[in-house]
Structure 1
């Protein structure tokens, strides 16, 4: 029985498949957040960071035992392009040295080809990278093969890993190991791993980079992120100002409605309006507090920038327990500044009162106005108490509720009459 007695027939099995995907959360595919867009820009620098590296190289290659080539040292170099901080291509030419030693007398064996390099990170220190590629083993007719076996030229594939050790931005040391794969058969005829020969090559040399230095991804990310944060803060500030204006208008509207309820002696409506007004005022106060915090932060940052420019070696931080020393003249100026901001009785004048005094109005008018506001607050407290009582006594009879409301209205009317009389007296005095 011979091999020719058996026929070879290709068998094909066809299949069809389909799938259905369900997304339980996250964003719809194809959408990117601002952070995703920043990362995308970081890794898609294109030709903006193009550079040209040149690498003089010395390599030691140990050929597979089944190959006719002699183990040897090889010298040559790599030349290529870096398309950014992560990816680059190289073309190489290496020539074998005589007698398997490092020598400038070259043998009749050479290797040339190309490879793709992919860095695994862009750290400041040692940087690992992967290599994949291929080339051609060029054997000259005068080459003396191992064990007098005839040697022929053939292609090979390669893959390996390497390390870059940076000395300066444009000067690095590197080392790597590659597996060169060869076979005496055609690719379609390779059936087992025994049909592939693996030769190991160990290389090292220096990397000289010419051209524009690739931007650091962390620097790009930081600048882009700062810009995005600034834009978002500006947008949030605009929304906060809009919301603040809306609630301030609402407070003014509720104030007018509250005065109308006071005039109509509608206790229940006044209590409802008062609660809604207090809620709106709390929101306005919160927005004002956040605005003041943002303004203080901005002022502090601007001051720090100015100080850094004018006094680069000066610091404004004080260690715990430290003391501030003033000359007599500086201390006198400080006392004068404090006295200028004090009232007649040694009390700090509020900004609103100070403004009224500058407009030549009497302090007594301000005090009378404060007295009126105080009494109005008492009325508002009474209204809130009334609302709480109504909520607590929800099960009393209609007759009792009517009698109680009538009593409260009568007391409120009497208090309002007294308040109006007091206001008239104050106005007469003013």
Structure 2
């Protein structure tokens, strides 16, 4: 787990602000759900044989012996909230986005922490493949908005409850002949969760499954048609993509369209955003039978990809350099008035020299410095210096607030 410090947090704020801007243009509203949920929610939604549930969740009993878990992902809590508050009664179609911390106990590595942060979006209530294409186009739009290139959209289809069992059985039979080449985890789970073997990063498992059957060859007519239409609409929107038939995702609730935004810049953990359809999840959690599709992005990885191209720390609008007790009092009152009008105003509280105060103003990147001492105070004036061009002028003290608001705010 790590801290996000001033100088870094501005980039985080930029990424979050951009998400609100882009997602808002597509009709999404923000939802905020608790960090802690009942453990059962994640066992039912993610799947008890997934790595997340088996190994990675922070789970504990509270004083009433309820089993609680720090949320490892955002989709299941959002669906729980959607069902609990009967949001479908107002309108079965919902477009929701969220942002905040998630928790997984896994080996820390580049761009991955045990407390990490995600921005995610979900559309509930629409099965049309055009919505799949719209979600993917919005994801590309977001990456363009924040100036992150060098990413590739990969798509796949995992089929549905009708066609996936046949593929699953074919895959189990394929893996049975290669058990000796699989890692211990994959040998243990190849019957309960065989699709995860295709996603294993172990060298032996990659080599053993290189010729594995493709899920795309086992799709039913409905899933095949859906996936074909998604591709058609992506091309209509000029959204570039590649098909990755080995993409299976790590959560059990995915059906039909799945996707990842991948990069070559972060090593083996190359996915910076991922998601897919989960048409049976809401019903499985006790809600109505409604389809859904969504994605999540890892903020730590986005920050890494921004690199040195980060948002600068905000500049101070005004620094008030005062010498003497009476001058400091007047500067303090003026600073407070400016702050109440939305200006970022600062002053020195330690009685430092004018030279030291000017250095502080420079460190804060102040646009303007107000200089007032005993001489200026006696004449009811102050020196106003524009730090960008070096111009300095004398201004009647009583007009300073109006003058600074005009220069900074244009008001």
Taking structure 2 as the reference length, what is the TM-score of the superposition?
Answer: 0.20
Q: Which has the larger radius of gyration?
A: 1
**Greater fraction of residues in helix:** 1
Return the structure number with greater relative CO, CA threshold 8 A, min gap 6: 2
Taking structure 1 as the reference length, what is the TM-score of the superposition?
Answer: 0.20
